[in-house]
Amino acid sequence: MTRTTIPARLRRTVAVSTLALAALAVAPALPANAAVPAFQLPFPCGQKWQLNSWAHAPALDMVKEPDQVGTEGALLVAPAGGTVRQSYFHQNAGNMIQIDHGGGHFTTYIHLQSRAVNVGARVQEGQTIGRVGATGPTSNGHPHLHYEQGFDANGDGRVTWGAAGTERVIATFNGVQYGQSNGRQWDNVTSANSCQSVTPVDGRLYREPSGTIAVIAGGAPVRFASMDELRAAGYGSAPLIGVPAGWLNSLPQEPRDGTFLRDAANGAISVIAGGAKYGLTLAEWEAMGRPGSINVPLRVINEYGRIPADGTLLRNHTDGAISVVAGGAKYGLSLAQWERLGKPASVNVPIGFINTLGSDPRPGTLLRDVANGSIYLTIGGAKYGLTWAEYERLDNPPFANVPIEWINTFRAIPRDGSYLRNVEDGTIYVMTGGKKDALSYEEWDRLGKPASTNVPVGFLNQIPSA
């Protein structure tokens, strides 16, 4: 449980199986040959819900975001097409519905405020089937949807539900699995249910019923703050395509790598890669074949930084050389190294973009040897191989997969001027003359409180003291 907004009553009541005291710690998976229907979250397009497995994985309890507001009476829709097999009031579960989606796949919904479908009814994805509620004593009066996906493993034409050992399986929404194990929580899961009746096209404008207008760039919506901003971007006379409420939220919210954004005010074009931007010169844009760009407000372009995310691969469009990015630094890959990394996708960019990156990652960058999984902490041109316990003590920070050849370019002792902080007791050391020197608070304060990097004691112990 990680959110204090959920009342203690809910923690006490839904942290156990809805209909049984026993629970599975790890959810059963589907048979390998059981193709899963394209299930979507059972709520209207664009809505955000919190999902919890509590102690009854793979069953899920769902409350509406933000902070459960609107859960009671929320519209419940079919996650995929199917036939209603059960629809009645259960003495413990309250109003419940079960839908047969074919191929042995079922979904079950309990504690409903009301039911809108009867047994035998055919439903389509997005069709209303009921409303979320708190019926049945096992809901303990707290509005939420208890949801289960099930698979008819024994072939009897139905699935059992509601307790450990039944035929429920790990849930999948929009191709992503939820409920793999107990005690997990997923915040702000956005419904894509029936959203894709309209296919987003780059450069076109889409309008939701609320009046929100966005242009699609790299598959993602760029929303306009006002009509003046829309007109300034050159879309004053562009047609608007109406879409359902929440449709914009159902799309990826960041343009795909390699998208070109154009500031309509001055015509400047930037390429996006790894969440960063690079402003092209006219010569670079022409050398890249004058790729198409999408007009967006300058404020949108300015939201991007200049350093791609760790693990981004940049490809020099002139000669095809690929570099991996980590900690704001680059490393040029050989063909063999790129293949060892699994031939990951790269983004075509000018060499000027690649040259903005140095060769020394920022302090605290973690590099992972793709060959054996070893993780190294880097600082001041030095590396330190972490044990699993040390990695966890550092709070499991993210890392970038790189070839061992890059890791081997780092030495054992950080360069002078590096600041290292003992993650155990907070002592800060400065590197001087190849040795570490512990600073008092007053000394650190007089130096201007320079930023330091958390490191394990094992790293400090291999550095000689001043």
Q: Convert the pLDDT of each residue in 265-302 to its tens digit.
A: 899 999 999 999 999 999 999 999 999 999 999 999 99
For residues 384 and 393, give the distance between their C-alpha atoms in angstroms, rounded to a whole number: 15
For residues 175 and 123, give the distance between their C-alpha atoms in angstroms, rounded to a whole number: 21
| Residue range 181-231, pLDDT digits in tens | 999 999 999 898 887 667 899 999 998 878 899 999 999 999 999 999 999
* Whether this model's pTM surpasses 0.85: no
**Total number of residues shown for the chain:** 466
**Residue 191 buriedness (CB in 10 A; 0-12 / 13-18 / 19+):** buried
Q: If pLDDT is split at 50, 70 and 90, which confidence band does 175 have?
A: confident
* Sequence-distant (≥ 6) Cβ neighbours of residue 417 within 8 angstroms: 380, 430, 431
Amino acid at 421: R
Q: What is the mean pLDDT of the chain?
A: 90
Residue 5 pLDDT exceeds 60: no
Model pLDDT, residue 29:
58
Residue 56 pLDDT exceeds 80: yes
**Residue 185 buriedness (CB in 10 A; 0-12 / 13-18 / 19+):** middle
For residues 216 and 278, give the distance between their C-alpha atoms in angstroms, rounded to a whole number: 20
Q: Where are the alpha helices (DSSP H) in 188-254?
A: 227-232, 247-250
DSSP 170: -
Beta carbons of 192 and 174 less than 8 angstroms apart: yes
Cα torsion through 180, 185, 191, 192, rounded to 10: -40
Residue extents of the structural domains in the chain? 8-190, 196-250, 267-355, 365-461
Residue 8 pLDDT exceeds 50: no
Residue 361 pLDDT exceeds 80: yes
**Residue 299 buriedness (CB in 10 A; 0-12 / 13-18 / 19+):** exposed
Distances in Å between the alpha carbon of 321 and those of 97, 306, 317, 392, 396? Answer: 56, 20, 8, 35, 32
Task: State how far Cα 332 lies from the chain centre.
Answer: 28
What average pLDDT does the segment 321-343 reach?
A: 95
| Residue range 149-174, pLDDT digits in tens | 999 988 898 899 999 889 999 999 98
For residues 273 and 291, give the distance between their C-alpha atoms in angstroms, rounded to a whole number: 15
Residue-wise over 435-452: b if at least 16 C-beta within 10 A, else e? ebeebeeeebeeeeeeeb
For residues 300 and 296, give the distance between their C-alpha atoms in angstroms, rounded to a whole number: 7
DSSP 234: T
Task: State how far Cα 404 lies from the chain centre.
Answer: 28
Model pLDDT, residue 229:
94
Task: Find the range with the poorest average confidence among 23-32, 45-54, 279-288, 435-444.
Answer: 23-32
| Residue range 385-412, pLDDT digits in tens | 999 999 999 998 999 999 999 999 999 9
* Sequence-distant (≥ 6) Cβ neighbours of residue 148 within 8 angstroms: 58, 59, 60, 107, 108, 161, 162, 168, 171
Range 8-190 has CATH code 1.10.760.10? no
Residue 126 pLDDT exceeds 70: yes
**Residue 321 buriedness (CB in 10 A; 0-12 / 13-18 / 19+):** middle
Instruction: Please compute, for residue 136, the number of CA atoms within 13 A of its CA located in the half-sphere on the CB side.
Output: 28
The phi, psi pair for 125, rounded to 5°, reads -50, 130
* Sequence-distant (≥ 6) Cβ neighbours of residue 456 within 8 angstroms: 377, 384, 386, 387, 390, 393, 394, 423
| Residue range 308-328, pLDDT digits in tens | 999 999 999 999 999 999 999
